[in-house]
Structure 1
């Protein structure tokens, strides 16, 4: 019987295969029972418990995020994984054409504005991310993986999804102010990225109940709450310059059950910022 963390390659391959199958089902809108699947998986492993399998699934989520893929809902990233797990995930992602097609379709799918039935149920606390790190040298370590994709970046460029999220927040803010008895302020909420352009460093101009401006940058995803997101240098600068009035609204699970949390002030206070691209200009 296996003990501790001495997972065999066969066990790891079984866990990864099951995780990727669940992700494909989820992206395609097909129903499945997580508990039943885990129970069946445990029977095939060498004495592993349900909790140890769920822990491994969270490790897989961390690998998927690092490679630019979405994750299965409910398994928050836990990044203290062994390199064997990365190798197995990379190998299976490269050969899983059905999953590749499902993810591509998901990030490109058009979106429409979701209805707001219960505004108070939409807000959630800021999620707590795991602080563990995987076995790797300190600092940035390049990984040239053929399994690495830009799916999350593609979703971030999905203008239909981004616009739907911004309009959703517009309605949410107007309702918040109206419910607080600030009808005149609710009528002044403005979609500034549409009316003035997207160079301001935020998307929606709203207000506090005392009339002070609230500058809102909206980041929308169809995936889970800990899905990494992209911010521009302009947005970072605005969040620092106007920290007292700046808010980043992270809107997640947008297509199924929209919810959001609020990151007030400078973005760098809340997030680890990793440079993922550079503007390159020829030098003389």
Structure 2
């Protein structure tokens, strides 16, 4: 199913479920749907996007993770489809009415403190979320979309003068400032916007730099992270205002190693 989705092809979830029921005696529709939600979660933990329509349920069995990891290692078509999907170039759509673009952010599910367990090492061909984050064409298109959105937002407040001053700073000044777009509140205060764009769903993980995290703490009254999702189909966004660690679970996944 995921391979078909990433390739832009359609399929019937109902027909798929019926075929499974013929093989799984006694399994209800609900139990099969729930297991696919577990599979969505396990796919995300392996660095793949989830299956559309199956909200990830992360409390899945270790055996499911082992079997799925083994399957994706030998399924070359899925690997090829995922790689093509995350590396595809993108352009910013022209939108006149942004009134339906903004939505609520996902709720942060706090983890229950547990004794530290040995790290589960799993072979992975690629982390597709990381590869998508490195897609400069997609990132730039998302930033351009947000420049349009901010212009529209300020015009709605009757602030045409401020709307005309919205600046795409990652282009005009370069990266490294901790944000991509300089905008304004209706009263003229500056708004610093970091843009994170994905072609996948609302709950897709994203990557935050040390500088972005520090700016979100130091300028918490001005900092906003706009998460754009489903960008290629129908762009939507949610806004994380202020300190990022107040909204998200931050997992340190890499370190800079040096000798001094």
TM-based fold match above 0.5: yes
Name the residue aligned to 1:282: 259
Give the TM-score of the pair, scaled to structure 1.
Answer: 0.86
Name the residue aligned to 2:179: 202
Name the residue aligned to 1:250: 227
How do 1:47-126 residues align onto structure 2 when only pairs under 5 Å count?
47-126=26-105
Partners of 1:172 and 1:77 in 2: how far apart? 30
Task: Mark the runs of 5 or more structure 2 residues left unpaired by the alignment.
Answer: none
Q: Does 1:161 align with 2:138?
A: yes
Change (3 A) 1:217 1:59: same
Q: Does 1:211 align with 2:188?
A: yes
Moved more, 30-39 or 229-238: 30-39
Name the residue aligned to 2:121: 144
Q: Does 1:225 align with 2:202?
A: yes
Partners of 2:21 and 2:209 in 1: how far apart? 43
Partners of 1:58 and 1:130 in 2: how far apart? 16
RMSD, aligned α-carbons: 1.8
How do 1:16-31 residues align onto structure 2 when only pairs under 5 Å count?
22-31=1-10
**How far 1:178 sits from its partner (Å)?**
1.0
**How far 1:117 sits from its partner (Å)?**
4.6
Q: Assess if the C-alpha contact under 8 Å between 1:70 and 1:223 holds in 2.
A: yes
Task: Mark the runs of 5 or more structure 1 residues left unpaired by the alignment.
Answer: 1-21
**How far 1:36 sits from its partner (Å)?**
3.0
**How far 1:242 sits from its partner (Å)?**
0.6
Q: Assess if the C-alpha contact under 8 Å between 2:92 and 2:142 holds in 1.
A: yes
Change (3 A) 1:109 1:282: same
Q: Assess if the C-alpha contact under 8 Å between 1:79 and 1:132 holds in 2.
A: no
Q: Does 1:189 align with 2:166?
A: yes
C-alpha deviations, 1:230-272, integer Å up to 9, x for none? 0000000000001111111110011111111111110000111
Number of residues paired by the alignment? 260
Name the residue aligned to 1:13: none
Q: Does 1:271 align with 2:237?
A: no
